[in-house]
């Protein structure tokens, strides 16, 4: 492979709904560029992308694949991404480093929910978009209806650069509005005949070309002047305007293809080579401290790792983008996160599981290396003279959770190592050991996502494990003041144990003053504040500990032990063993013994006094509540609403968004178990949702009773 300069490198991500044909289009792109001699297919399990066994088994993409092709003296790096929402992490990491996106639209269906999901990420990353109407040869292809849905969803920037002459089973011809030529293909696709537009489509082509010229001119004042002066633009002027329009996201040109029959693919590649912007045309990348680093081959060398994979015979493979400078084989770099040194012993341009060895790469290029010891996804590696760290990939929040445990007790360490490696490969798989729940919790994007994790554990790591329902991280608190006292006394020969603690507890609300008078169960208590400590709790909320001891009834040296006892009980709440929060404790009296009192005595006395008071203070269990947004086709709106109401949802609002209905609701986490599966079933996979933590709210009384009974039964069993 020749060495390419920054202005010869194009980076495009293939995005779109599952089933839109990204993998097969990529196959044709590599074939057209001569990187492969024969195109593979999904049934044959021999595509360059989708090379993992699990992808063969499911016949769909689950991981992004990095590829390249060479066309018209340009290197085009192609990042094929999964279309299913469960595997959105691959699309997000690819868009983070891509310079433009090819958004594939299935000509049978037009815009689908997956299209909307990907479009949101395109908006967030502010990426140029080329719309590719794929599968124009399908029996049910309907170009007019599909393009109507595209315009509804993507808005005014959409403009045709091509249109099919005969979309459907007889599709073999495309009118190109940039060149004003007609491309006609044989039955099996391949190289087209390029000729004049036939008479039946000339008028339509002229009208649509004028729309394209106007849209191209809109993004450049000089071109607009030229357009009015000359009543049009030349092909080169139009191409310049399209490039500017892509950069400004003011123009989304539409191309037509059949990836399966390799129709329109060569012309699409030609457009990418000529008009899609290169990395150096975009605003400079920003570091974590907002320093701008231009994509300049003469700058200081730096790499950003956006993907990590694992191959059994090699180990970890790290995929990176050269952010600045020039990287050469044998270069020493520093991993900024750890400050560890690494050597780039080998450089490759990958295409799927295959790799072409190269000696150097320049700013803007995408490649991979192997056998790094300390680098992983989101790491910045800098060469001599550089020491900056780029902003990380903004992966989406998890939407699904499960507990996991090994079937064999001796496999805990093996399971941990396997899960950590799977997180490196897919950072949207998040592993957490919950001290509170006493479970290993695995978070992902959906049930299918975690089932794929299970497949890897079974088939690649050979660790047998099972998923369990995760416990809910409830919180316990109180609603009124209560008083208690507790004496801990133990005598068994020699020095004994003695400690007595009197306390009052009440709900803690930020900003409310301490009290000096209480009336509890007909008794009045007057206390004086001597000292105050406020302890923010790692699980949320606050414990305020107030010393009201007068007359030396308890020595000050025992107060930390009392606090320790209280904190221990807050870590394992009196009602269900969940964390307690937002409580103010007044320790106002007690007794001690000159010989038998010690720290353990007062810790136990404080713990038990607190537990007694808690149960008399109107205790309440709080549950985590999430804000859930569901994007659903209008014809399934009723079913989704009914299902949410059955999950104790409080609907916050409904609105329309680009042809879909959006429902916003607050839903308890306890009711979101397997929601992704239920939603998919209700909508035939056409809906998607996001969820973010909102607040802790009181559990309804009947459910609290059930939780208390369940906890008591569990304690009896233990």
User: Which stretch of 303-307, 427-431, 443-447 has the lowest confidence by average pLDDT?
Assistant: 443-447
The confidence band for 346, taking pLDDT boundaries of 50, 70 and 90, is very high
Please tell me the CATH superfamily of domain 6-197+253-281, with its number.
P-loop containing nucleotide triphosphate hydrolases (3.40.50.300)
The DSSP secondary structure of 53-99, one letter per residue, reads HHHHHHTS--S-EEEEEEETTEEEEEEE---SGGGHHHHHHHHHH-S
Burial class for 487, CB neighbours closer than 10 Å (0-12, 13-18, 19+): middle
The DSSP secondary structure of 98-147, one letter per residue, reads -SEEEEEEETTTBS-HHHHHHHHHHHHHT--EEEEEE-TTSTT--HHHHH
Tokens of 416: 């941990």
- H-run or E-run covering 215: helix 199-218
Average pLDDT rounded to a whole number, residues 597-621? 95
Do 7 and 280 meet the contact criterion of CB atoms below 8 Å apart? Answer: yes
Question: From the centroid of its chain, how far is CA 60?
Answer: 19
The percent of residues above 70 in pLDDT, for the chain, comes to 99
Tokens of 662: 């959006």
The residue assigned the tokens 């018209």 is 72
pLDDT digits (tens, 9 = 90+) for 438-450: 899 999 999 999 9
The confidence band for 491, taking pLDDT boundaries of 50, 70 and 90, is confident
Do 212 and 239 meet the contact criterion of CB atoms below 8 Å apart? Answer: no
- Cα(634)–Cα(113) distance, rounded to whole angstroms? 12
Average pLDDT rounded to a whole number, residues 308-333? 93
Asked if the domains at 400-471 and 621-703 fall in one CATH topology, the answer is yes
Class of domain 621-703 as given by CATH? alpha beta
Q: Which of 115-119, 404-408, 714-718 has the highest mean pLDDT?
A: 404-408
The DSSP secondary structure of 672-694, one letter per residue, reads -TTHHHHHHHHHTT--EEEEEEE
- Cα(477)–Cα(614) distance, rounded to whole angstroms? 8
DSSP secondary structure code for residue 607 in this structure: H
- Cα(488)–Cα(189) distance, rounded to whole angstroms? 88
User: Which stretch of 416-430, 596-610, 655-669 has the lowest confidence by average pLDDT?
Assistant: 655-669
Region of residue 4 (phi > 0: left; psi between -120 and 50: alpha; otherwise: beta): beta
Do 319 and 310 meet the contact criterion of CB atoms below 8 Å apart? Answer: no
The percent of residues above 90 in pLDDT, for the chain, comes to 80
φ/ψ of 476, rounded to 5, equals: -115, 140
Q: Taking 70 as the threshold, does the pLDDT of residue 658 lie above it?
A: no
Higher-confidence residue of 190 and 9: namely: 9
Average pLDDT rounded to a whole number, residues 657-673? 89
Terminal alpha carbon distance of the chain: 67
pLDDT digits (tens, 9 = 90+) for 512-562: 999 999 999 999 999 999 999 999 999 999 999 999 998 889 999 999 999
- Cα(516)–Cα(247) distance, rounded to whole angstroms? 67
Domain residue limits, the chain: 6-197+253-281, 285-382, 400-471, 476-618, 621-703
Q: What is the mean pLDDT of the chain?
A: 93
DSSP secondary structure code for residue 7 in this structure: G
The confidence band for 82, taking pLDDT boundaries of 50, 70 and 90, is very high
Using DSSP bridges, classify how beta strands 74-80 and 9-16 pair: parallel, antiparallel or unpaired. Answer: parallel
* pLDDT score for 244: 92
- Cα(51)–Cα(45) distance, rounded to whole angstroms? 8
Q: Taking 90 as the threshold, does the pLDDT of residue 635 lie above it?
A: no
* pLDDT score for 686: 78
Q: Which CATH architecture has domain 400-471?
A: 2-Layer Sandwich (3.30)
3-state secondary structure of 148: helix
CA 476, 480, 484: angle at the middle one, nearest 5?
85
The residue assigned the tokens 């029996």 is 139
pLDDT digits (tens, 9 = 90+) for 381-390: 999 999 999 9
Average pLDDT rounded to a whole number, residues 136-150? 95
Dump strand ranges (E) for 593-639. 620-632
Domain 476-618, CATH among 3.40.50.300, 3.40.50.1980, 3.30.230.10, 3.40.718.10: 3.30.230.10
Dump strand ranges (E) for 329-394. 331-335, 340-344, 347-351, 354-358, 360-362, 366-370, 380-382
Alpha helices by DSSP H, listed for 258-411, are: 265-275
Q: What is the pTM of this model?
A: 0.86
- H-run or E-run covering 244: helix 235-247
Class of domain 285-382 as given by CATH? mainly beta
**Percent of residues in the chain assigned helix, strand, coil, to nearest 5:** 30, 35, 35
* pLDDT score for 554: 95
* pLDDT score for 595: 86
* pLDDT score for 493: 66
Tokens of 101: 């996106």
The confidence band for 685, taking pLDDT boundaries of 50, 70 and 90, is confident
* pLDDT score for 236: 82
DSSP secondary structure code for residue 505 in this structure: E
């Amino acid at each position: 492979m020749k060495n390419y300069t920054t202005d010869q490198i194009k980076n495009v991500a293939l995005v779109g709904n599952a089933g839109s044909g990204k993998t097969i289009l990529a196959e044709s792109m590599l074939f057209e560029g001569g990187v492969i001699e024969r195109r593979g297919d999904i049934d044959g399990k021999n595509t360059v992308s989708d090379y993992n066994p699990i992808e063969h088994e499911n016949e769909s993409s689950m991981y992004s694949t990095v590829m390249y092709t060479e066309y018209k003296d340009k290197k085009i790096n192609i990042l094929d991404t999964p279309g299913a929402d469960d595997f959105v992490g691959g699309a997000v990491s690819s868009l983070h480093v891509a310079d433009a996106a090819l958004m594939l639209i299935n000509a049978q269906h037009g815009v689908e929910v997956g299209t909307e999901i990907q479009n949101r990420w395109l908006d967030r990353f502010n990426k140029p978009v080329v719309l590719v109407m794929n599968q124009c040869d399908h029996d049910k292809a309907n170009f007019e209806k599909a393009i109507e849905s595209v315009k509804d969803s993507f808005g005014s920037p959409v403009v045709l650069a091509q249109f099919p002459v005969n979309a459907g089973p007889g599709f073999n011809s495309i009118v190109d509005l940039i060149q004003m030529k007609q491309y006609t293909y044989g039955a099996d696709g391949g190289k087209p005949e390029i000729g004049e537009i036939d008479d039946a489509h000339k008028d339509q082509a002229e009208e649509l070309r004028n729309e394209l010229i106007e849209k191209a001119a809109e993004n450049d004042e000089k071109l607009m002047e030229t357009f009015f002066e000359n009543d049009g633009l030349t092909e080169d002027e139009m191409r310049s305007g399209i490039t500017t329009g892509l950069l400004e996201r003011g123009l989304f040109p539409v191309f037509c293809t059949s990836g399966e029959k390799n129709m329109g693919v060569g012309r699409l590649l030609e457009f990418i080579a000529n008009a899609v912007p290169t990395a150096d045309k975009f605003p400079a990348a920003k570091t974590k401290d907002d320093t701008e680093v231009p994509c300049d081959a003469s700058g200081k060398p730096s790499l950003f790792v956006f993907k990590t994979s694992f191959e059994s015979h090699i180990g970890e493979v790290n995929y990176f983008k050269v952010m600045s400078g020039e990287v050469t084989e044998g270069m020493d770099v520093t991993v900024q996160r750890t400050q560890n040194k690494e050597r780039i012993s080998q450089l490759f341009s990958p295409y799927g599981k295959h790799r072409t060895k190269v000696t150097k790469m320049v700013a803007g290029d995408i490649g991979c290396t192997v056998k790094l010891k300390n680098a992983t996804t989101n790491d910045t590696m800098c060469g001599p003279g550089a020491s900056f760290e780029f902003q990380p990939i903004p992966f989406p929040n998890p939407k699904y959770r499960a507990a996991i445990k090994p079937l064999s007790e001796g496999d805990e360490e093996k399971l941990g190592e396997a899960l950590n490696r799977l997180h490196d490969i897919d950072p949207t798989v998040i592993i957490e050991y919950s001290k509170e729940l006493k479970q290993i919790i695995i978070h992902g994007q959906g049930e299918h996502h975690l089932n794929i994790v299970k497949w890897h554990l079974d088939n690649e790591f050979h660790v047998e494990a099972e998923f369990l329902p995760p416990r809910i991280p409830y919180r316990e608190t109180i609603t009124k003041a209560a008083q208690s006292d507790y004496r801990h006394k133990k005598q068994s020969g020699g020095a004994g144990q003695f400690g007595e603690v009197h306390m009052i507890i009440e709900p803690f609300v930020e900003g409310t003053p301490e009290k000096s008078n209480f009336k509890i169960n007909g008794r009045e208590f007057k206390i004086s504040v001597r000292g105050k400590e406020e302890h923010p709790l790692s699980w949320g909320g606050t414990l305020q500990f107030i010393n009201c001891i007068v007359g030396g009834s308890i020595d000050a040296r025992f107060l930390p032990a009392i606090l320790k006892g209280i904190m221990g009980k807050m870590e394992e709440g009196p009602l269900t063993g969940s964390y307690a929060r937002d409580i103010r404790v007044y320790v106002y009296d007690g007794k001690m013994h000159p010989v038998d009192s010690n720290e353990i005595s007062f810790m136990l006395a404080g713990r038990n006094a607190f537990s007694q008071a808690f149960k008399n203070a109107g205790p309440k269990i709080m549950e985590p509540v999430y804000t859930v947004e569901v994007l659903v086709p209008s014809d399934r709106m009723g079913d989704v609403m009914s299902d949410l109401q059955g999950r104790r949802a409080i609907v916050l609002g409904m609105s329309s968004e680009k042809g879909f209905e959006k429902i916003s609701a607050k839903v308890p986490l306890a009711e979101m178990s397997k929601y992704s599966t239920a939603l998919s079933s209700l909508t035939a996979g056409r809906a998607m949702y996001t969820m973010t933590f909102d607040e802790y709210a009181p559990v309804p009384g009947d459910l609290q009773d059930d939780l208390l009974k369940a906890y008591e039964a569990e304690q009896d069993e233990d």
